[in-house]
Amino acid sequence: MATALGGNIRKRRIELGLEPAQVAKQIGRSTKTLYNIENGWNSTKPEVLHRLAKVLDLPIDQVMASDWVKQPA
């Protein structure tokens, strides 16, 4: 089950038309790690969150917002 954080990352990556491998390379992590972050299976260090925010062109608070992506019931 994806967390709000992971859902926000995935939503924005898709909006920008970026492949997981592209984002993973830009943040210095593997595609598997990005996949795990998007699915809520990995916790993420603050420096990785800041890199993700920069790559996704989002303020860090929006990346972490629990209400930006509505989770299915």
Q: What is the structure's pLDDT at 71?
A: 43
Going along the chain from its start, the domains and CATH numbers come out as: 4-60 (1.10.260.40)
Residue 41's identity, in one-letter code, is W
**Below-70 pLDDT ranges, the chain:** 1-2, 66-73
Q: What is the structure's pLDDT at 72?
A: 43
Rounded CA separation 1/18 (Å): 22
